[in-house]
Structure 1
Amino acid sequence: MQTIERKQTNQRMSQIVIHGNTVYLAGQVGEARHDITGQTRDALARVDDLLAQAGSSREQMLQVTIWLADMADFAAMNAVWDAWVPAGHAPARACGEAKLADPALRVEIIVCANRG
């Protein structure tokens, strides 16, 4: 049986869960005071940090789910995303619209990655 490792854990959730060589990240958001571009940059910087803590990287992403508060932000979010994803390492990805936990939030990014 493979162990499950949890990092940055509290009563409600873990920021990182590692099972075998698979890394699951909690949804990452940016600073609510920023526009969609700034929030996307913030969220992706947090993804980078968490992946590094888990022994992974953006080159090892398997699947990403992106929630936008408004699909009108799709192009602006993608401009940041496209510059951030390493060439040849795009994960499977889904993007949809959802009401986020805080009305000031514009984007939430959920990542599953390999490590090793």
Structure 2
Amino acid sequence: MSITYHQSNPRMSELVVHGNTIYSAGQVANDYQANMTSQTQQILSNIENLLATVGATKEHILSVQIWVSDMSEFSQLNKVWDEWVTPGHQPARACVECKLANPDWKVEMMFIAGIPTN
């Protein structure tokens, strides 16, 4: 089975495709000073852009792991998520509160998706 690495640097790849499965690295916002709503929007946009590089869309996401720095902001994340997710294509999802690597990050997401087959 083939493995391809996308948007790699010496430490990691943003995406790894193994067979028909896509694995992402943790995705964070570009603007670290933004609020939870904006950081979540940025991450979801980044996810869509990453998926597009391998011919997939958000409807192909199988599961998402989410880490938040403060669970009191969870409802803000969910509001953005609920507007973004496609009805009928809700991935499995988990969310936990934790200390993130950068204290300005409010949220980080990682996903697994399937490659569309024709």
Name structure 1 gaps, 5 residues minimum: none
Per-residue Cα deviation, 1:49-81 (whole angstroms, up to 9, x for no partner) = 001112111001101000000111110000000
Runs of 4 or more, structure 1, over 6 Å off, are: none
SS state at 1:59 partner: helix
Match of 2:11 in 1: 12
Match of 1:101 in 2: 101
Q: CA deviation at 1:33?
A: 1.4
Match of 1:3 in 2: 2
SS state at 1:104 partner: coil
Matches within 5 A, 1:66-77: 66-77=66-77
Match of 1:85 in 2: 85
Match of 2:54 in 1: 54
Matches within 5 A, 1:40-51: 40-51=40-51
Name structure 2 gaps, 5 residues minimum: none
Q: 1:51 and 1:101 mapped to 2: Cα distance?
A: 24
TM-score normalised to the size of structure 2?
A: 0.95
Per-residue Cα deviation, 1:17-71 (whole angstroms, up to 9, x for no partner) = 0001100111111121100000000000000000111211100110100000011
Q: 1:4 and 1:75 mapped to 2: Cα distance?
A: 37
Letter in 1 for 2:92: A
TM-score normalised to the size of structure 1?
A: 0.97
Aligned length: 115
Q: 1:100 and 1:64 mapped to 2: Cα distance?
A: 17
SS state at 1:28 partner: coil
Q: CA deviation at 1:84?
A: 0.4
